[in-house]
Protein backbone atom coordinates (compact mmCIF):
# COMPACT_ATOMS: atom_id res chain seq x y z
CA UNK A 1 0.00 0.00 0.00
CA UNK A 2 1.46 3.34 -1.09
CA UNK A 3 1.99 5.89 1.66
CA UNK A 4 1.02 9.48 0.94
CA UNK A 5 1.25 12.51 3.24
CA UNK A 6 -0.90 15.59 2.74
CA UNK A 7 0.11 18.68 4.68
CA UNK A 8 -2.87 20.97 5.04
CA UNK A 9 -6.48 20.13 5.88
CA UNK A 10 -8.27 22.73 3.81
CA UNK A 11 -10.60 22.35 0.84
CA UNK A 12 -7.91 20.84 -1.41
CA UNK A 13 -6.06 18.73 1.15
CA UNK A 14 -9.16 17.10 2.63
CA UNK A 15 -10.74 16.50 -0.78
CA UNK A 16 -7.58 14.74 -1.94
CA UNK A 17 -7.13 12.82 1.33
CA UNK A 18 -10.67 11.47 1.23
CA UNK A 19 -10.32 10.54 -2.43
CA UNK A 20 -7.10 8.63 -1.81
CA UNK A 21 -8.59 6.98 1.27
CA UNK A 22 -11.48 5.71 -0.86
CA UNK A 23 -8.92 4.12 -3.18
CA UNK A 24 -7.21 2.31 -0.26
CA UNK A 25 -4.07 4.42 -0.09
CA UNK A 26 -2.30 4.77 3.25
CA UNK A 27 -2.86 8.50 3.86
CA UNK A 28 -1.45 10.67 6.61
CA UNK A 29 -3.12 14.06 6.89
CA UNK A 30 -1.30 16.85 8.73
CA UNK A 31 -3.73 19.38 10.22
CA UNK A 32 -3.02 22.41 12.37
CA UNK A 33 -6.45 22.19 14.01
CA UNK A 34 -8.90 19.57 15.19
CA UNK A 35 -12.40 19.33 13.75
CA UNK A 36 -13.82 21.01 16.84
CA UNK A 37 -11.30 23.85 16.63
CA UNK A 38 -12.18 24.40 12.97
CA UNK A 39 -15.93 24.33 13.67
CA UNK A 40 -15.71 26.73 16.61
CA UNK A 41 -13.18 29.10 15.05
CA UNK A 42 -13.44 32.22 12.94
CA UNK A 43 -14.64 32.32 9.35
CA UNK A 44 -11.82 31.85 6.85
CA UNK A 45 -13.33 32.57 3.43
CA UNK A 46 -16.46 33.12 1.39
CA UNK A 47 -15.90 29.77 -0.42
CA UNK A 48 -18.19 30.44 -3.38
CA UNK A 49 -18.38 27.34 -5.57
CA UNK A 50 -19.82 27.01 -9.07
CA UNK A 51 -21.40 24.04 -10.80
CA UNK A 52 -18.30 22.25 -12.17
CA UNK A 53 -16.49 22.31 -8.81
CA UNK A 54 -19.63 21.22 -6.97
CA UNK A 55 -19.90 18.34 -9.42
CA UNK A 56 -16.39 17.22 -8.44
CA UNK A 57 -17.43 17.18 -4.78
CA UNK A 58 -20.57 15.27 -5.66
CA UNK A 59 -18.63 12.69 -7.67
CA UNK A 60 -16.40 12.15 -4.63
CA UNK A 61 -19.40 11.72 -2.31
CA UNK A 62 -18.53 14.89 -0.40
CA UNK A 63 -21.74 16.82 -1.08
CA UNK A 64 -23.04 16.56 2.47
CA UNK A 65 -25.14 19.75 2.37
CA UNK A 66 -27.18 19.50 -0.84
CA UNK A 67 -30.46 19.56 1.08
CA UNK A 68 -29.50 22.57 3.21
CA UNK A 69 -27.16 24.93 1.37
CA UNK A 70 -28.89 27.79 -0.50
CA UNK A 71 -28.61 27.74 -4.27
CA UNK A 72 -27.79 31.03 -5.93
CA UNK A 73 -29.73 31.16 -9.18
CA UNK A 74 -27.87 33.92 -10.96
CA UNK A 75 -25.86 37.12 -10.84
CA UNK A 76 -26.90 40.72 -10.34
CA UNK A 77 -24.13 43.20 -11.20
CA UNK A 78 -24.47 46.91 -10.52
CA UNK A 79 -22.11 49.79 -11.24
CA UNK A 80 -22.66 53.22 -9.78
CA UNK A 81 -20.71 56.39 -9.23
CA UNK A 82 -22.06 58.07 -6.07
CA UNK A 83 -20.48 61.32 -7.25
CA UNK A 84 -23.15 61.38 -9.99
CA UNK A 85 -26.20 60.07 -8.11
CA UNK A 86 -28.74 61.30 -10.65
CA UNK A 87 -27.49 58.81 -13.22
CA UNK A 88 -28.49 55.85 -11.09
CA UNK A 89 -26.75 52.47 -11.26
CA UNK A 90 -26.12 50.50 -14.42
CA UNK A 91 -27.36 46.99 -13.69
CA UNK A 92 -27.96 43.60 -15.21
CA UNK A 93 -29.40 40.39 -13.82
CA UNK A 94 -28.94 37.01 -15.41
CA UNK A 95 -29.32 33.35 -14.51
CA UNK A 96 -26.66 30.71 -13.93
CA UNK A 97 -26.73 27.60 -16.09
CA UNK A 98 -25.71 25.49 -13.08
CA UNK A 99 -25.92 25.85 -9.33
CA UNK A 100 -23.70 28.06 -7.22
CA UNK A 101 -23.40 27.52 -3.46
CA UNK A 102 -21.35 28.52 -0.45
CA UNK A 103 -20.87 26.29 2.60
CA UNK A 104 -18.96 27.85 5.51
CA UNK A 105 -15.59 26.12 5.61
CA UNK A 106 -15.92 25.82 9.37
CA UNK A 107 -18.85 23.50 8.70
CA UNK A 108 -17.43 21.77 5.65
CA UNK A 109 -13.86 21.16 6.74
CA UNK A 110 -14.73 20.02 10.24
CA UNK A 111 -17.21 17.51 8.83
CA UNK A 112 -14.76 16.26 6.21
CA UNK A 113 -12.02 15.89 8.81
CA UNK A 114 -14.36 13.90 11.06
CA UNK A 115 -15.33 11.76 8.07
CA UNK A 116 -11.69 11.04 7.26
CA UNK A 117 -10.99 10.00 10.83
CA UNK A 118 -14.17 7.92 11.11
CA UNK A 119 -13.01 5.91 8.10
CA UNK A 120 -9.74 5.10 9.82
CA UNK A 121 -7.66 7.97 8.46
CA UNK A 122 -4.50 8.97 10.28
CA UNK A 123 -4.25 12.63 11.31
CA UNK A 124 -1.16 14.23 12.78
CA UNK A 125 -2.09 17.46 14.55
CA UNK A 126 0.24 20.42 14.69
CA UNK A 127 2.02 22.80 12.36
CA UNK A 128 4.57 21.41 9.89
CA UNK A 129 7.22 24.03 9.18
CA UNK A 130 9.84 23.99 6.45
CA UNK A 131 12.48 22.39 8.64
CA UNK A 132 10.09 19.54 9.49
CA UNK A 133 9.26 18.64 5.90
CA UNK A 134 12.22 16.25 5.30
CA UNK A 135 11.08 14.00 8.15
CA UNK A 136 7.61 13.76 6.63
CA UNK A 137 9.00 13.03 3.17
CA UNK A 138 11.26 10.28 4.55
CA UNK A 139 8.25 8.32 5.84
CA UNK A 140 6.13 8.49 2.70
CA UNK A 141 6.20 7.67 -1.00
CA UNK A 142 4.73 11.08 -1.84
CA UNK A 143 4.26 14.31 0.14
CA UNK A 144 1.78 16.91 -1.07
CA UNK A 145 1.65 20.40 0.44
CA UNK A 146 -1.83 21.91 0.40
CA UNK A 147 -1.24 24.61 3.01
CA UNK A 148 -1.10 28.14 1.65
CA UNK A 149 0.26 29.78 4.78
CA UNK A 150 3.45 29.39 6.80
CA UNK A 151 7.01 28.63 5.89
CA UNK A 152 6.22 25.55 3.79
CA UNK A 153 4.73 27.54 0.92
CA UNK A 154 7.87 29.68 0.78
CA UNK A 155 9.89 26.59 -0.16
CA UNK A 156 8.34 26.58 -3.61
CA UNK A 157 9.56 30.01 -4.61
CA UNK A 158 7.75 32.67 -6.62
CA UNK A 159 7.49 31.94 -10.33
CA UNK A 160 8.29 35.38 -11.74
CA UNK A 161 7.29 34.39 -15.28
CA UNK A 162 3.75 33.50 -14.16
CA UNK A 163 3.20 36.02 -11.37
CA UNK A 164 1.84 39.46 -12.25
CA UNK A 165 1.73 41.07 -8.79
CA UNK A 166 4.14 41.41 -5.90
CA UNK A 167 1.74 42.96 -3.38
CA UNK A 168 -1.99 42.83 -2.53
CA UNK A 169 -4.24 44.60 -5.00
CA UNK A 170 -7.22 44.85 -2.62
CA UNK A 171 -7.88 44.80 1.10
CA UNK A 172 -10.66 42.50 2.20
CA UNK A 173 -13.41 42.33 4.79
CA UNK A 174 -16.17 39.71 5.05
CA UNK A 175 -19.10 39.42 7.44
CA UNK A 176 -21.55 36.54 7.95
CA UNK A 177 -24.95 38.04 8.79
CA UNK A 178 -28.48 37.18 9.84
CA UNK A 179 -31.50 39.47 9.55
CA UNK A 180 -30.91 40.59 5.97
CA UNK A 181 -34.19 41.81 4.47
CA UNK A 182 -35.13 40.53 1.04
CA UNK A 183 -36.35 42.74 -1.76
CA UNK A 184 -39.00 40.19 -2.66
CA UNK A 185 -37.69 39.26 -6.10
CA UNK A 186 -35.41 36.60 -7.55
CA UNK A 187 -32.26 38.57 -6.80
CA UNK A 188 -32.68 37.79 -3.09
CA UNK A 189 -31.17 34.42 -4.06
CA UNK A 190 -28.62 35.78 -6.51
CA UNK A 191 -24.95 36.52 -6.09
CA UNK A 192 -24.86 40.32 -6.15
CA UNK A 193 -21.88 42.51 -7.04
CA UNK A 194 -22.04 46.28 -6.55
CA UNK A 195 -19.09 48.19 -7.93
CA UNK A 196 -18.10 51.74 -7.08
CA UNK A 197 -15.43 53.67 -8.94
CA UNK A 198 -13.52 54.76 -5.82
CA UNK A 199 -14.60 52.29 -3.17
CA UNK A 200 -14.20 48.88 -4.78
CA UNK A 201 -16.78 46.11 -4.81
CA UNK A 202 -19.47 44.99 -2.36
CA UNK A 203 -20.32 41.34 -2.97
CA UNK A 204 -23.27 39.56 -1.35
CA UNK A 205 -23.87 35.84 -1.41
CA UNK A 206 -26.06 33.36 0.42
CA UNK A 207 -24.40 30.63 2.44
CA UNK A 208 -24.92 27.79 4.86
CA UNK A 209 -23.00 28.50 8.05
CA UNK A 210 -22.48 26.58 11.28
CA UNK A 211 -25.70 28.13 12.62
CA UNK A 212 -27.80 27.73 9.47
CA UNK A 213 -28.46 29.79 6.33
CA UNK A 214 -27.09 33.34 6.28
CA UNK A 215 -25.88 36.10 4.00
CA UNK A 216 -22.24 37.07 3.49
CA UNK A 217 -21.24 40.67 2.84
CA UNK A 218 -17.78 40.78 1.28
CA UNK A 219 -16.01 44.07 0.61
CA UNK A 220 -13.15 44.15 -1.91
CA UNK A 221 -11.55 47.51 -1.16
CA UNK A 222 -9.37 49.46 -3.52
CA UNK A 223 -6.31 50.53 -1.49
CA UNK A 224 -6.85 53.95 0.02
CA UNK A 225 -10.53 53.99 -0.92
CA UNK A 226 -13.57 54.26 1.35
CA UNK A 227 -13.86 50.48 1.87
CA UNK A 228 -10.21 50.29 2.96
CA UNK A 229 -10.82 50.89 6.66
CA UNK A 230 -10.14 47.66 8.55
CA UNK A 231 -6.66 48.08 10.01
CA UNK A 232 -8.13 47.98 13.53
CA UNK A 233 -9.76 44.56 12.91
CA UNK A 234 -13.02 45.38 14.74
CA UNK A 235 -15.19 42.76 16.39
CA UNK A 236 -17.89 41.30 14.11
CA UNK A 237 -20.69 43.51 15.43
CA UNK A 238 -18.71 46.74 15.07
CA UNK A 239 -17.25 45.69 11.74
CA UNK A 240 -20.63 44.79 10.24
CA UNK A 241 -22.12 48.09 11.43
CA UNK A 242 -19.27 49.97 9.78
CA UNK A 243 -19.69 48.01 6.56
CA UNK A 244 -23.44 48.67 6.48
CA UNK A 245 -22.85 52.41 6.86
CA UNK A 246 -20.50 52.24 3.89
CA UNK A 247 -23.26 50.56 1.90
CA UNK A 248 -25.54 53.49 2.69
CA UNK A 249 -23.32 55.71 0.53
CA UNK A 250 -21.77 53.36 -2.01
CA UNK A 251 -24.45 50.68 -2.56
CA UNK A 252 -27.70 52.03 -1.09
CA UNK A 253 -29.78 49.21 -2.61
CA UNK A 254 -27.80 46.79 -0.46
CA UNK A 255 -27.95 49.09 2.57
CA UNK A 256 -31.73 48.65 2.54
CA UNK A 257 -31.25 44.90 2.83
CA UNK A 258 -28.54 44.99 5.52
CA UNK A 259 -29.85 47.85 7.70
CA UNK A 260 -31.01 45.43 10.44
CA UNK A 261 -28.41 42.72 9.95
CA UNK A 262 -26.44 41.18 12.82
CA UNK A 263 -23.40 38.89 12.85
CA UNK A 264 -24.19 35.19 12.90
CA UNK A 265 -21.70 34.52 15.73
CA UNK A 266 -18.59 35.73 17.48
CA UNK A 267 -16.31 34.50 14.70
CA UNK A 268 -18.28 35.99 11.81
CA UNK A 269 -15.74 38.55 10.55
CA UNK A 270 -12.67 38.17 8.37
CA UNK A 271 -10.09 40.80 7.43
CA UNK A 272 -6.96 40.65 5.34
CA UNK A 273 -5.25 41.09 2.00
CA UNK A 274 -3.99 38.58 -0.54
CA UNK A 275 -0.97 38.85 -2.80
CA UNK A 276 -1.81 36.98 -6.01
CA UNK A 277 1.14 34.73 -6.79
CA UNK A 278 2.12 31.63 -8.71
CA UNK A 279 4.90 29.57 -7.17
CA UNK A 280 6.89 26.72 -8.64
CA UNK A 281 4.92 23.50 -8.30
CA UNK A 282 7.77 21.37 -6.92
CA UNK A 283 10.26 22.16 -4.14
CA UNK A 284 13.61 20.44 -3.68
CA UNK A 285 14.55 19.78 -0.05
CA UNK A 286 18.02 18.37 -0.73
CA UNK A 287 19.34 14.80 -0.55
CA UNK A 288 17.01 13.81 -3.39
CA UNK A 289 13.84 14.80 -1.55
CA UNK A 290 11.01 16.67 -3.28
CA UNK A 291 7.55 17.87 -2.30
CA UNK A 292 4.62 18.63 -4.57
CA UNK A 293 2.53 21.76 -4.03
CA UNK A 294 -1.16 22.12 -4.80
CA UNK A 295 -3.90 24.74 -4.74
CA UNK A 296 -3.13 27.77 -2.51
CA UNK A 297 0.33 26.49 -1.66
CA UNK A 298 1.45 27.29 -5.20
CA UNK A 299 -1.30 29.25 -6.98
CA UNK A 300 -3.04 32.08 -5.09
CA UNK A 301 -5.74 34.36 -6.51
CA UNK A 302 -7.35 37.45 -5.07
CA UNK A 303 -10.89 36.34 -4.12
CA UNK A 304 -12.54 39.04 -6.27
CA UNK A 305 -13.62 36.43 -8.83
CA UNK A 306 -14.54 33.74 -6.30
CA UNK A 307 -12.15 31.13 -7.66
CA UNK A 308 -10.28 29.88 -4.57
CA UNK A 309 -12.49 26.96 -3.51
CA UNK A 310 -13.15 26.07 -7.15
CA UNK A 311 -9.41 25.92 -7.84
CA UNK A 312 -8.93 23.74 -4.77
CA UNK A 313 -11.55 21.24 -5.92
CA UNK A 314 -10.09 21.11 -9.42
CA UNK A 315 -6.58 20.62 -8.04
CA UNK A 316 -7.69 17.81 -5.73
CA UNK A 317 -9.47 16.00 -8.55
CA UNK A 318 -6.55 16.45 -10.96
CA UNK A 319 -3.93 15.29 -8.47
CA UNK A 320 -6.03 12.30 -7.43
CA UNK A 321 -6.34 11.23 -11.06
CA UNK A 322 -2.59 11.64 -11.63
CA UNK A 323 -1.75 9.60 -8.52
CA UNK A 324 -4.10 6.80 -9.47
CA UNK A 325 -2.69 6.64 -13.00
CA UNK A 326 0.85 6.45 -11.63
CA UNK A 327 0.20 3.01 -10.18
CA UNK A 328 3.30 1.52 -8.57
CA UNK A 329 5.79 3.73 -10.40
CA UNK A 330 7.77 6.22 -8.30
CA UNK A 331 6.47 9.70 -7.60
CA UNK A 332 9.70 11.25 -8.78
CA UNK A 333 10.57 14.86 -9.57
CA UNK A 334 9.67 14.53 -13.24
CA UNK A 335 6.23 13.14 -12.42
CA UNK A 336 5.64 15.91 -9.87
CA UNK A 337 6.51 18.63 -12.35
CA UNK A 338 4.31 17.08 -15.00
CA UNK A 339 1.41 16.81 -12.55
CA UNK A 340 1.61 20.48 -11.62
CA UNK A 341 2.07 21.57 -15.25
CA UNK A 342 -1.03 19.62 -16.28
CA UNK A 343 -3.03 21.33 -13.55
CA UNK A 344 -1.60 24.73 -14.50
CA UNK A 345 -2.93 24.36 -18.04
CA UNK A 346 -6.39 24.90 -16.58
CA UNK A 347 -5.49 27.11 -13.63
CA UNK A 348 -3.67 29.67 -15.79
CA UNK A 349 -6.98 30.79 -17.28
CA UNK A 350 -8.32 31.45 -13.79
CA UNK A 351 -5.30 33.59 -12.96
CA UNK A 352 -5.48 35.51 -16.22
CA UNK A 353 -9.18 36.30 -15.69
CA UNK A 354 -8.66 37.38 -12.08
CA UNK A 355 -5.71 39.57 -13.06
CA UNK A 356 -7.89 41.20 -15.71
CA UNK A 357 -10.63 41.95 -13.19
CA UNK A 358 -8.10 43.40 -10.72
CA UNK A 359 -6.31 45.63 -13.19
CA UNK A 360 -6.17 49.34 -12.38
CA UNK A 361 -7.09 51.30 -14.30
CA UNK A 362 -9.51 48.77 -15.79
CA UNK A 363 -8.70 47.45 -19.23
CA UNK A 364 -10.60 49.31 -21.95
CA UNK A 365 -11.91 46.15 -23.56
CA UNK A 366 -13.28 44.86 -20.22
CA UNK A 367 -15.20 48.12 -19.90
CA UNK A 368 -16.63 47.62 -23.37
CA UNK A 369 -17.81 44.13 -22.44
CA UNK A 370 -19.47 45.30 -19.23
CA UNK A 371 -21.22 48.19 -20.97
CA UNK A 372 -22.50 45.72 -23.54
CA UNK A 373 -23.68 43.41 -20.75
CA UNK A 374 -25.89 46.17 -19.36
CA UNK A 375 -27.55 46.49 -22.77
CA UNK A 376 -27.53 42.93 -24.14
CA UNK A 377 -28.86 40.04 -22.01
CA UNK A 378 -26.87 37.50 -24.01
CA UNK A 379 -23.59 39.24 -23.11
CA UNK A 380 -24.57 39.41 -19.44
CA UNK A 381 -25.42 35.70 -19.44
CA UNK A 382 -22.19 34.70 -21.13
CA UNK A 383 -20.09 36.86 -18.83
CA UNK A 384 -21.76 35.61 -15.63
CA UNK A 385 -21.49 31.95 -16.55
CA UNK A 386 -17.83 32.21 -17.47
CA UNK A 387 -16.95 32.38 -13.77
CA UNK A 388 -17.73 28.66 -13.53
CA UNK A 389 -14.89 27.91 -15.97
CA UNK A 390 -12.71 30.91 -16.91
CA UNK A 391 -11.23 28.92 -19.80
CA UNK A 392 -14.43 29.94 -21.60
CA UNK A 393 -13.29 33.58 -21.61
CA UNK A 394 -10.22 32.86 -23.71
CA UNK A 395 -11.82 33.42 -27.10
CA UNK A 396 -13.80 36.59 -26.43
CA UNK A 397 -12.86 38.39 -23.21
CA UNK A 398 -9.13 38.07 -22.61
CA UNK A 399 -7.87 39.71 -25.81
CA UNK A 400 -8.96 43.19 -26.99
CA UNK A 401 -9.15 42.19 -30.66
CA UNK A 402 -11.27 39.12 -29.91
CA UNK A 403 -13.46 41.24 -27.63
CA UNK A 404 -14.10 43.72 -30.42
CA UNK A 405 -14.78 40.92 -32.89
CA UNK A 406 -17.39 39.49 -30.51
CA UNK A 407 -18.99 42.86 -29.84
CA UNK A 408 -19.25 43.45 -33.59
CA UNK A 409 -21.65 40.48 -33.81
CA UNK A 410 -24.19 42.04 -31.43
CA UNK A 411 -27.40 43.60 -32.72
CA UNK A 412 -27.02 47.29 -33.44
CA UNK A 413 -23.22 47.18 -33.40
CA UNK A 414 -22.88 48.38 -36.95
Do both 215 and 299 map to the same domain? Answer: no
Domain that holds residue 198: 72-102+169-273
Per-residue buried b or exposed e for 150-162, using 16+ beta carbons within 10 Å of the residue's own CB:
bebbebbeeeeee
Is 86 within the bounds of a domain?
yes
Same domain, 348 and 377: no
CATH number of the domain bearing residue 240: 3.30.9.40
CA atoms lying within 13 Å on the CB side of residue 19: 24
DSSP secondary structure string, 101-152?
A: EEB-HHHHHHHHHHHHHHTT-EEEES---GGGHHHHHHT-SEEEE---SSHH
- Residues 176 and 252 placed together within one structural domain of the fold: yes
CATH number of the domain enclosing 286:
3.50.50.60
Asked if 281 and 336 sit in the same domain, the reply is yes
Q: How does pLDDT run across 222-255, given as a tens digit for each residue?
A: 999 999 999 999 999 999 999 999 999 999 999 9
Which distant-in-sequence residues (6+ apart) come within 8 Å of 222 by Cβ? 170, 198, 199, 200, 228, 360
| Alpha carbons 289 and 333: distance in angstroms, whole number | 9
Report how many domains make up the chain: 3
The reply to whether 192 falls in a domain is yes
Ranges of residues in the chain whose predicted pLDDT is under 70: 413-414
- Do 287 and 318 have their domain in common? yes
Same domain, 212 and 318: no
> Do 49 and 91 fall into the same domain?
no
DSSP for 207-237 reads EEETTEEEEEEEEEEPTTSTT---TT---HH
Q: CA–CA separation, 245 vs 168, rounded Å?
A: 25
Q: Do 293 and 350 fall within a single domain? A: yes
82 & 121 share domain: no
Domain boundary among 215, 245, 273: 273
The distance from CA 314 to its chain's CA centroid, rounded to whole angstroms, is 12
Neighbours of 114 (CB within 10 A): 16
267 and 218 within one domain: yes
pTM: 0.96
Q: Alpha-carbon distance 339 to 282, whole Å?
A: 10
The Cα angle at residue 155 between residues 310 and 390, in degrees rounded to 5: 20
For 45-61, the pLDDT digits (tens) are 999 999 999 999 999 99
Characterise 26 by phi-psi region: left (phi > 0), alpha (psi -120 to 50), beta (else).
beta
Determine, yes or no, domain membership for 366.
Answer: no
Using CA atoms, how far residue 372 sits from 191, 365, 375, in Å, is 20, 11, 5
Residues 90 and 28 in one domain: no
DSSP class of residue 198 equals T
Based on the domain organization, do 300 and 288 belong to the same domain?
Answer: yes
Amino acid sequence: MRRIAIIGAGQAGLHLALGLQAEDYDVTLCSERTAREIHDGRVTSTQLMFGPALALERAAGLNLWDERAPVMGGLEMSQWDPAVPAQGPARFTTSYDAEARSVDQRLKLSAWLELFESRGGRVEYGSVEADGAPAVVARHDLTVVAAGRGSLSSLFGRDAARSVHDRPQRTLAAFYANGVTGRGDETDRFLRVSGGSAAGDAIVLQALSVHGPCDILFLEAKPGGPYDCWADRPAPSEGLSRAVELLREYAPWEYERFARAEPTDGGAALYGAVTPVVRHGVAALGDGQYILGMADAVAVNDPLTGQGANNAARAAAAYLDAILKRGERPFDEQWMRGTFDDYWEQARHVHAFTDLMLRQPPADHLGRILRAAYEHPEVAHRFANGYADPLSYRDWLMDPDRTDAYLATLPGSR
